[in-house]
């Protein structure tokens, strides 16, 4: 075997070395084998996710919900659009309010609802919203009107 002499000039190319490439492939394969077993163990952990739990006494935390009624009749629950404008019965709003009421009863906290109505909003839409609140049996309701003095 010849020794490499840097002063001797170009004696030929070393060519493609396959041994280092095989080493790299084995190291990568070893890494993925180790990581695959770690993911499998992680999936087998038994964890309980948080949910609703009955409490024995009430807490000071109150659930406040803001319902906006826009001039065109659109109803927003915490800035999220609810049922379409043309419907008098609002099943999506009613279902959301019923879930809120059930969660507050489980936590023994009061539910406060504030209805913010645009000055030009139709009164019938406010009545539809009150009907949804009545179905959900929510009684702590306050009203306010938006100010357009901006």
In a domain, 134, yes or no: yes
| pLDDT at residue 149 is higher than 70 | no
Q: How many domains in the chain?
A: 1
Q: How far is it, in rounded angstroms, from Cα 101 to Cα 132?
A: 12
Instruction: Give, to the nearest 10 degrees, the angle between helix 123-135 and helix 91-107.
Output: 40
Pairwise pLDDT comparison (27 vs 45), residue with the higher score: 27
Distance (Å, whole) CA 55 – CA 84 = 37
Say if residues 115 and 144 touch (Cβ distance below 8 Å): yes
Q: Is residue 38 part of a domain?
A: no
**Cβ 106 vs Cβ 59: under 8 Å:** no
pLDDT single digits (tens) 4-20? 666 665 566 677 888 98
Q: CATH number, domain at 125? A: 3.30.420.270
Sequence-separated (6 or more) residues with CB below 8 Å from residue 35: none
Could you tell me if residue 4 is inside a domain? Answer: no
84-126 per-position pLDDT tens digit: 777 778 888 888 888 888 888 877 788 888 888 888 888 888 8
Proportion of the chain in helix, strand, coil states, percent, rounded to 5: 40, 15, 45
Q: Residue 130: is its pLDDT beyond 70?
A: yes
**Residue 39 burial (CB count, 10 A):** 8
Determine the structural domain holding residue 107 and report its residue range: 63-145
Residue 42 lies in a domain: no
Would you say residue 122 lies in a domain? yes
| Tens-digit pLDDT profile for residues 59-76 | 566 668 888 888 888 888
Question: Is 8 a member of any domain?
Answer: no
Q: Is residue 97 part of a domain?
A: yes
Distant-in-sequence contacts of 96-100, Cβ < 8 A, 24+ apart: 97/65, 97/132, 97/133, 97/135, 97/136, 97/138, 98/135, 98/136, 100/63, 100/65, 100/136, 100/138
pLDDT score of 1 = 57
Residue 57 or residue 26, greater confidence? 26
Looking up tokens 């709003």 gives: 93
């Amino acid at each position: 075997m010849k020794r490499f002499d840097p002063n001797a000039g170009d004696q030929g190319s070393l060519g493609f070395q396959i041994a280092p490439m095989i080493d790299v492939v084995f190291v990568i394969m070893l890494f993925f084998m180790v990581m695959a077993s770690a993911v499998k163990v992680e999936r087998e952990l038994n964890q309980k996710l948080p949910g609703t739990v009955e409490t024995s006494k009430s807490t000071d935390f109150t659930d406040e919900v803001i319902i906006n009624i826009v001039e065109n009749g659109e109803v927003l629950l915490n800035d999220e659009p609810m049922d379409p404008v043309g419907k008098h019965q609002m099943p999506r709003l009613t279902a959301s309010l019923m879930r809120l009421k059930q969660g507050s009863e489980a936590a023994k906290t009061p539910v406060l609802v504030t209805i913010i109505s645009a000055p030009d909003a139709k009164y019938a839409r406010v009545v539809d919203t009150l009907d949804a609140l009545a179905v959900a049996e929510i009684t702590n309701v306050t009203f306010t009107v938006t100010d357009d003095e901006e």
